[in-house]
Structures are given as C-alpha cells and as structure tokens.
Amino acid sequence: MSTFIKLLARNRLAIFGAAVLGVIILLIVVTPLLPLPDPDATATADRFKRPFSDGFILGTDHLGRDLLSRLLWGTQLSLAVGLAAALIAGTVGAAIGIVAGYFGGRIDNVIMRAIDMLMAFPYILLALAIVAALGPGLLNALYAVAAVNIPFFARNVRGVTVSIAHKEFVDAARLSGMGHIRILTTEILPNVLPVVIIAMSTTIGWMILETAGLSFLGLGSQPPQADLGSMLGEARAALITAPHTSIVPGMMILLIVMSVNLLGDGVRDALDPRLRSGALSRPMAATLVRRDETPPEEAETEAVLSLENLQTRFEVGSRIYRAVGGVSLAINPGECVGLIGESGSGKSVTALSVMGLVASPPGIITGGAVRLNGQDLIGAPYRRLRALRGDRVAYIFQDPLSTLHPLYRVGDQLTEAIRVHHRISRDAAHERAVKLLEDVRIPNARARIRSYPHELSGGMRQRVAIAMALANEPEVIIADEPTTALDVTVQAQILKLLDDLRRDRGVSILFITHDFGVVGQLCDRVAVMYAGRIVEEGTTAEVLDAPAHPYTKRLIACVPELGAGRRELHAIPGLPPAVDQLPHGCAFAPRCHKATGLCATSEIELTGTGRKVRCILPEEDVA
C-alpha cells in the first residue's frame, strides 16, 4: 500500500489530476454551504449575463439562472452519476465475467457470444434505445450507460478469471471440497478485484462523458435539474450569442474527465507490477556516455579490439549498480578470447558496452575506452557507431528466437544486414544471403531463406544469426553466450562452425560464456569476471590447468567433464554480491575460503602481464 502511494506520488501528472479533482470535489462538497442562489430560480430578465457582471461570477443562462450555482450542483450530479455508472457496470460486468471465466465451457461460450453481440451494437444507440424504453431521466440514463459498459468489464474480467481459474491454488481449493460460491468469493474474487478497480478508475471519466452525451441529446436529467451534459445541451441554442453558457459546463466536463483520467492512469500505473519496477523505459539508440575523464581518442595498439578500464553502470532511481567496474581486455587479430563468469558478473554488459548496446536508460558508460584498431568508440558520434556496428564489429546473441525479428523472413533480415552497409541491389544481396546460409551449413538455403524464425529449429536459427554476423566480414565478432539456449549436440555443432569460420576468415572473437567446457573448445585466451571486474586472465590452457584465483578454481570445479570419471561437484557457497553494494576490497572475499582480513581492507589490483590475477593470496603464482 505504501509503495502504491509512493509510486502514485511520484507521478506528477497523477498528482496534478488528483489536485484538480480534489478541488472540484471540495467545491461540490461545500456547495450546500456556499451563499449561492437557487440553481433553479429563473429570472428571465437577467438572462445571458456575462461572467463577472452584476454579481454573477460565471454569468447567467438563458433563463437568468446563476451559472456558478448550476455548475456546482450540476457537477455534483454528474460526478455522482459517473461514479455510480462505473460501479454498477463494474460490479455486474465483473460478476458476469467471473462466472463465464470460472465455469468455462458452454456457459462461457453462451455468455461471451451474447457479449460479442452487444459489443457489435453501436453503444450510443444501445444506450439510446434503453433510455427510449425506460423513459427519459437521469437515473435511466445512468442505467443505460452502465448497461452498455457491462460487456467491456465482463470481457476484461473473464480474461483474468480464466488465467486464475487454472492456477494450482484454485485446483487445491476445489480438491479440498470447497463449493463454487466459496471458491469464487474467497479465491477468485480477491485476485480479480485489482483488475476491476483499475478498469473502473480508468472508465469513470468515460462514463461521465457518456452520461453527459445522453443529457446533451436531451435524454438525461429533466429540467430544471442541472447536470453538465444538459447544461451544455440547453446552452447550445445560444452558442453564438452567449458562448459562455456553453463554455462553462464544457470546460468543467473537460476538467473533470481530464483529472479523473490522469488520476486513473496514475492508479493503474502504480498498481501494475510491470511498471512498478520502473522498467518500462525504452533503450536509446546508443548507450549514454558520461565519462569524467576523456581518454585520448587514439592509441597505438596491436589489438584489434581493446577495452581500457571500461566502466558501465545502471542508475535506477537513487540506486547505482556498477555492472562493469573497470574492465581492460585486448583481443588480437584472429584471436578468440573467452570472457567467462556467472550470470550477473557483468560479462554481457561488458560485451554490449563495446558497441554502445547497453540499454539506456538505465545504463550509462561512465569511464574508460573501447578501441577498435586504436580508435575510441565510447563517445563516438552515433553515425560512426552505427557505421561500424555489424560491419566491423558484429554480434551473436544468446536466444535466437527472441533476437531475430519474429515478423521478418530470415532472408530479409540477412539482406538488411548487408544492405545497411553496402549499396548493392536487392538481388545481389539476396544471392549473398543464400551464400551466407550455405556457409553456415544450412541445408536447402534457397528455400529456408523464405522462412520465418519460428519455422526454424533452435540450431538453425543460431546459424542464421551467425550468418548475419558474418554478412559484412567483420573484424570482430562478439558472441554473447551463443550456445547457451541450445541443446548439447547442437551446441557442439555451432561451436565447431564458429571455430571453422574463425580459422577460415581470420576473424577475432570475443566469446562470452559461463561455461568453461565451451571455452576450452574454442578460445585462445580467457578472462574471468566477477562482480564487474576481471579477476583472472591468461591463455585457456593456463587458466584451465592451473587457475590462480580461488573463484576461478571453484568455478572450474563446478564443470562436469566428460570422461573424467566421477568427480565431486562443488557449488560455490553464497551468492555473488549485488553490484549496488559491492564490498570493500575483494568482491569475492565473503565467499572465499581463503579470505583474510587483508582482503577487505583495500582495493586489490590485477597483477601480472599476460597471465594476470586479482588476488593477494592466489592459488598459483602468476608473476
């Protein structure tokens, strides 16, 4: 509840809405106490007085009635009616929806068909017909508006109920012999209620509009009673002579509906768990860069790609997650470097930072450099970054089902990758795409090129992704756990493919993984990441055979090895630290069996050349 209030309070528009609505409600609450003239007292000689004239704050209407008084009383009525209509529609609609969703089968079918029919009816005409049948009057208009909105609620609630009705706790309740009524009221209803409340809060404004509409057509409140719609309807005849009589109620409707909508949106946003995490913000085209120090734009280096003290963080509200806390890594031409670590270690963020693909907000690169052939990419203009992406540096991502566009044919996605960097004809690009698919050993490439991603197997999809990465013959391929989502035999095929391609084409690979087994098959060198930093680096053979960092050692110990017979698998006790609360000194110390007091006192450097380790008590000497 308090989070709800807090979230609501953070939404400035909702606060504005609440404030306006609050003022309006306050006004109509004190209306009976205000020294206002009788809203229905006519004084035809005083008709159409302009606002602020002769003691009429808002002027008078066509019968000389005080507009302010009518406005306040009318607002009271309109708000009450809107609220009542929402309540009635919500209650009845929810009841129907719950029954349909819970019982399912024929009951559901019949009810939903009826709802379909009602929804195929133009709602205003339905409301009109209902009012015509019941006779005019505000109460009847209220029923009509409520009635035409029932299908909307019923449909929404039914959807939610269906998803709840098949959950375990409902089954459990059923098995325990609870009656339908009991289950509906004690198990289903509490879970459906938030949906109903959200729907109601977002539709009250709508209800007020609709009721005003019926009153506008003369089917709502009966004279002399004022409600906003009838005020507007009556004022219409004098629109040109005395526009204020229309504008006053019109603006009030606008204000009420607007404030109700704003507040309703705020309530919905605050109640919606997806929005609660604050995650519903879209990533920008390139990661934001906010470096305190700008490193030189160019530097002499042998490496095709080198990371220098790269720092990337996520800023969520007041919290700062240091996902990458100063990573330096170099990849030489034709080399395959593995970057390994548990999930959350920052290895993927490191990989994405290279081409500015870290989602931002909330990601920000706050320091260091990424050099491609010596040129710094961090802080490079978007145009340059874009020109290099996929052309010089290509990516292969983890789950090809979600990383390929589901609505484009794979061929189109491939040719697009080529054509954004090369001005070649569609046909030529197509031929090239076929060739690429053949290169990644997709059988029957010419037919498969017309497939959609969902029509391919996981392995095939990943081959497509690899073909896409190869499309422009890049210097570097960054493969972010490309085999994790695949089963073991396919995994082996993909690794073999990558290895062959690397050797045939001399492309460098930065290979992100959490699996030492995979590293061993492919990588020349390997760097181990923990809590946003590299803790050990060396050739694959060295690191695998003689891990220096206690963390690496434990990590390797976790890998079951084929043909190694029975060996005890040790899980590492504890969890990696949250990167918004990194411990002082060695981040691994709290989980390390060798840790001493010294480990937590000061920053620990990555020491060594070529073979490096960040530990004051390494398992192996790396000097």
| Binders of another protein in range 276-335 (CB under 8 A) | 279-283, 285
Residue placing its CB nearer to another protein in the complex, 453 or 547: 453
Q: Is the distance from CB of 126 to CB of 67 less than 8 angstroms?
A: no
Quote the least distance from Cβ 42 to another protein, whole Å. 4
Strands 612-613 and 508-513 come out as: unpaired
404 binds another protein (CB under 8 A): yes
Q: Which amino acid is at 146?
A: A
53 binds another protein (CB under 8 A): no
Three-state SS at 39:
coil
- Dihedral, CA of residue 456, residue 457, residue 461 and residue 466, to nearest 10: -130
40 binds another protein (CB under 8 A): yes
Residue placing its CB nearer to another protein in the complex, 452 or 606: 452
Quote the least distance from Cβ 118 to another protein, whole Å. 7
Q: Which stretch binds another protein (CB under 8 A): 230-238, 304-312, 333-341, 481-489?
A: 230-238
Quote the least distance from Cβ 330 to another protein, whole Å. 21
Quote the least distance from Cβ 321 to another protein, whole Å. 17
Residue placing its CB nearer to another protein in the complex, 245 or 491: 245
Number of residues that bind another protein (CB under 8 A): 98
**DSSP-assigned beta bridge partners for residue 315:** 320
Q: What angle do CA 52, 55, 61 make, to 5 degrees?
A: 70
Quote the least distance from Cβ 448 to another protein, whole Å. 14
CB contact set of 164 (below 8 Å; sequence gap of 6+): 101, 170, 187, 188, 191, 192
- Which positions from 444 through 473 interact with another protein, judged by CB under 8 A? 452, 454-455, 465, 468
Interface with another protein (CB under 8 A), residue from 357, 433, 494, 586: 357
**Buried-exposed string 173-192: b where 16+ CB fall within 10 A, e elsewhere:** beeeeeeeeebbeebbbebb
20 binds another protein (CB under 8 A): no
Q: What CA–CA distance (Å, rounded) separates 580 from 587?
A: 12
Residue placing its CB nearer to another protein in the complex, 435 or 454: 454
Interface with another protein (CB under 8 A), residue from 15, 36, 37, 64: 64
- Which positions from 144 through 173 interact with another protein, judged by CB under 8 A? none
Q: What CA–CA distance (Å, rounded) separates 49 from 52?
A: 8
Q: Is the distance from CB of 232 to CB of 249 less than 8 angstroms?
A: yes
Residue placing its CB nearer to another protein in the complex, 280 or 617: 280
- Which positions from 537 through 566 interact with another protein, judged by CB under 8 A? none
Residue showing tokens 């960040």: 614
133 binds another protein (CB under 8 A): yes
Interface with another protein (CB under 8 A), residue from 113, 167, 180, 567: 113
- Which positions from 415 through 444 interact with another protein, judged by CB under 8 A? 416-417, 420-421
Residue placing its CB nearer to another protein in the complex, 161 or 360: 360
Please report how the helices 189-216 and 138-165 are oriented relative to each other, as an axis angle in degrees rounded to 10. 150
Q: Which stretch binds another protein (CB under 8 A): 95-103, 189-197, 289-297, 394-402?
A: 394-402
The DSSP string of 382-419 is: HHHHHHHBTTTEEEE-S-HHHHS-TTS-HHHHHHHHHH
Q: What CA–CA distance (Å, rounded) separates 166 from 102?
A: 9
Quote the least distance from Cβ 449 to another protein, whole Å. 14
- Which positions from 243 through 262 interact with another protein, judged by CB under 8 A? 243, 246-247, 250, 253-254, 257-258, 261-262
- Which positions from 189 through 218 interact with another protein, judged by CB under 8 A? 205, 209, 212-213, 216-218
Residue placing its CB nearer to another protein in the complex, 194 or 218: 218
Q: What are all long-range contacts of 195-199, with beta carbons under 8 Å and residues at least 24 apart?
A: 195/156, 195/157, 195/160, 196/90, 196/94, 196/153, 196/157, 197/267, 197/271, 198/267, 198/268, 198/271, 198/272, 199/90, 199/152, 199/153, 199/156, 199/157
